[in-house]
């Protein structure tokens, strides 16, 4: 039996042509693996069949939507994960999951190599290969587009010459990656960072400028995990799917950013993540109610580090695991409800409550009968500012 390579297959031009290229270049039989992370669009069965039609010896489809939501999106919600404070890691979160399945399939079907369709200029190649290295050091990785210098033009010629069942007419000027957590759109006229995005780019969200009635929604969290929407119990996947609709219909979740890629390039990216931004906004506010000041403040730094690690492809790393342990510990009391008004592109928190709240009305109130002893404040400030006072005296004496 020929050696085998497992290719992360999307059904698009590059990975369809990649099947033949891989076989030609390596002599190995190609197994196609398509992962459903809620990217929508084409039927997964059609994608499975196309891989076979393009020459794969086996074609496997995995519905990983629940796994993606439970094991990748939930940690991102707990971490309020935003790279450069804005990007909810739409692509970065899906790559380690896909890599995990590549490894599992390679082991199951006796392959010694895994492959993906990334170019040599992006982050995703790093995420795939770093994850594979961490999970299965015995496997090697190959990227036909990058390693065999296969341009799009060459791919089109190859597809025509070999009569591959790929529709060229659907070719979009953009490079798009999408899953249930959101969409990433790059290239085309967006490569000039001065060019404004056009309405056409967006599919998960409606135009926030269109006048419409606001939507009110209440999200319930249990230890940091979304567990109900408007009182109806939901799985994390259902929460994300439902909020994509509710928030997307209000134009929420659009992001236009110049982003620092790991490979050193600055790139202009347009994203939409209606559920992502809504859940993170709600979750962070519930933390404001339930997590004590020092922990919350320290956690904000951990969150930035977590987002950097995930962005940089280090999902399966010791540091990421340790940060997860810290974050999980902080979520112990992050249970309760957050009410938001969704309108005109913004999720606005209008109420929060929790059985584990640290908010003490009697301490906070300015009405009579408060329990806060204001006479203690004076002495506290004396000691709090003592080091500043002493050093100021020294400075004045210089
Ligand atoms: N820049 C984003 C990231 O690195 C999105 C990448 C999107 N991938 C793509 N093949 N279009 O996470």
Question: Which residues sit in the known binding site for L-citrulline?
Answer: 87, 123, 127, 175, 259, 271
Where are the domains positioned within the chain?
4-171, 176-291+333-353, 369-397
- Ligand 1 centroid from CA 91, angstroms: 5
- Ligand 1 atom closest to 175 (CA): 11
Task: Indicate which residue's Cα is closest to atom 9 of ligand 1.
Answer: 177
Please name the fold of domain 4-171: Rossmann fold (3.40.50)
Question: Which residues sit in the known binding site?
Answer: 8-16, 87, 117, 119, 123-124, 127, 175, 259, 271
Catalytic residue among 50, 91, 124, 354: 124
Q: What is the model's pLDDT at position 168?
A: 62
Catalytic residue among 14, 29, 312, 337: 14
Is residue 29 part of the annotated active site? The answer reads: no
Task: Indicate which residue's Cα is closest to atom 8 of ligand 1.
Answer: 177
Residue 284's nearest CA partner among 343, 381, 344, 219 is 219
- Ligand 1 atom closest to 261 (CA): 4
Is residue 175 part of the annotated active site? The answer reads: yes
Is residue 14 part of the annotated active site? The answer reads: yes
- Ligand 1 centroid from CA 177, angstroms: 7
- Ligand 1 centroid from CA 387, angstroms: 48
Q: What is the model's pLDDT at position 162?
A: 93
DSSP 196: P
Residue 327's nearest CA partner among 224, 248, 235 is 224
Three-state secondary-structure class, residue 147: helix
- Ligand 1 atom closest to 90 (CA): 12
Residues within a 6 A CB radius of ligand 1:
91-92, 123-124, 175, 177, 184, 186, 259, 269
What does pLDDT average to in each consecutive run of 10 residues of the chain (398 residues)? 94 95 96 97 95 98 98 99 98 98 97 97 98 98 94 90 80 89 94 97 98 98 98 98 98 98 97 98 98 98 98 98 98 98 98 97 89 94 98 96
Question: Which residues sit in the known binding site for L-aspartate?
Answer: 119, 123-124
| CATH dotted code for 176-291+333-353 | 3.90.1260.10
Is residue 212 part of the annotated active site? The answer reads: no
CA separation for the pair 41, 58 (Å, rounded): 22
DSSP string, 360-373: -HHHH--STT----
Tokens linked to 324: 């997860």
Q: What is the model's pLDDT at position 73?
A: 99
- Ligand 1 centroid from CA 216, angstroms: 32
Q: Are 345 and 274 in contact (CB under 8 A)?
A: no
- Ligand 1 atom closest to 124 (CA): 4
CA 283 to chain centroid, in Å, comes to 16
Residue 198, CB-side half-sphere exposure with 13 Å CA sphere: 6
Kindly report the length of the chain. Answer: 398
Q: What is the dihedral of CA 312, 318, 324, 327, to 10 degrees?
A: -100
- Ligand 1 centroid from CA 286, angstroms: 30
Q: What is the model's pLDDT at position 269?
A: 97
Three-state secondary-structure class, residue 126: helix
Q: Provide the H-helix boundaries in the chain.
A: 13-26, 44-53, 65-68, 74-78, 90-109, 124-135, 144-147, 152-161, 236-248, 274-290, 293-311, 318-330, 361-364, 375-384, 386-397
Residue 34's nearest CA partner among 47, 21, 23, 43 is 47
End-to-end CA distance of the chain: 83
Sheet containing strand 225-229, strands side by side: 232-233, 225-229, 215-222, 336-343, 346-353
Q: What is the model's pLDDT at position 152?
A: 84
CA separation for the pair 268, 205 (Å, rounded): 19
Our CA angle for 184, 185, 191, nearest 5°, is 135
Task: Indicate which residue's Cα is closest to atom 1 of ligand 1.
Answer: 269
Q: What is the model's pLDDT at position 170?
A: 54
DSSP string, 239-307: HHHHHHHHHHTTTTTEEEEEEE-TTS-EEEEEEE-HHHHHHHHHHHHHHHHHS-HHHHHHHHHHHHHHH
């Amino acid at each position: 039996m020929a050696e085998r390579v497992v290719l992360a297959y999307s059904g698009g031009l590059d990975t369809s042509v990649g099947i033949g290229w891989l076989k030609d270049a390596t002599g190995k039989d190609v197994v196609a693996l398509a992962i459903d992370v809620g990217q929508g669009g084409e039927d997964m069965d059609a994608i499975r069949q196309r891989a076979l039609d393009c020459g794969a010896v086996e074609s496997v489809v995995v519905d990983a939507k629940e796994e993606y939501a439970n094991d990748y999106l939930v940690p991102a919600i707990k971490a309020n994960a935003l790279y450069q404070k804005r990007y909810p890691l739409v692509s970065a979160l899906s790559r380690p999951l896909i890599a995990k399945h590549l490894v599992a399939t390679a082991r199951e079907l006796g392959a010694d190599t895994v492959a993906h369709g990334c170019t040599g200029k992006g982050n995703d190649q790093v995420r795939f290969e770093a994850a594979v290295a961490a999970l299965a050091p015995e496997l090697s990785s190959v990227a036909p587009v990058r390693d065999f210098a296969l341009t799009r033009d060459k791919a089109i010629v190859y597809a025509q010459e070999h009569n591959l069942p790929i529709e060229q007419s659907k070719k979009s000027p953009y490079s798009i990656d999408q899953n249930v957590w959101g969409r990433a759109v790059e290239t085309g006229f967006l490569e000039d960072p001065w060019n404004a995005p056009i309405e056409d780019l967006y599919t998960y969200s409606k135009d926030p400028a269109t006048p419409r009635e606001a939507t009110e929604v209440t999200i319930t969290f249990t230890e940091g995990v979304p567990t109900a929407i408007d009182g109806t119990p939901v799985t994390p996947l259902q929460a994300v799917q439902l909020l994509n609709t509710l928030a997307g219909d209000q134009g929420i979740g659009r992001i236009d950013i110049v982003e620092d890629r790991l490979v050193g390039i600055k790139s202009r990216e347009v994203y939409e993540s209606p559920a992502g931004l809504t859940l993170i906004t709600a979750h962070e506010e519930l933390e404001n109610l339930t997590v004590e000041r020092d922990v919350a403040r320290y956690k904000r730094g951990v969150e930035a580090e977590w987002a950097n690690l995930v962005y940089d492809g280090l999902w399966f790393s010791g540091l990421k695991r340790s940060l997860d342990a810290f974050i999980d510990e902080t979520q112990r009391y992050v249970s309760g409800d957050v009410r938001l008004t969704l309108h005109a592109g913004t999720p606005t928190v209008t109420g929060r409550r929790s059985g584990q709240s640290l908010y003490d009305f009697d301490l906070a109130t300015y009405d009579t009968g408060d329990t806060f002893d204001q006479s203690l404040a004076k002495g506290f400030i004396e000691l709090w500012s003592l080091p500043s006072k002493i050093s100021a005296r020294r400075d004045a004496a210089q």
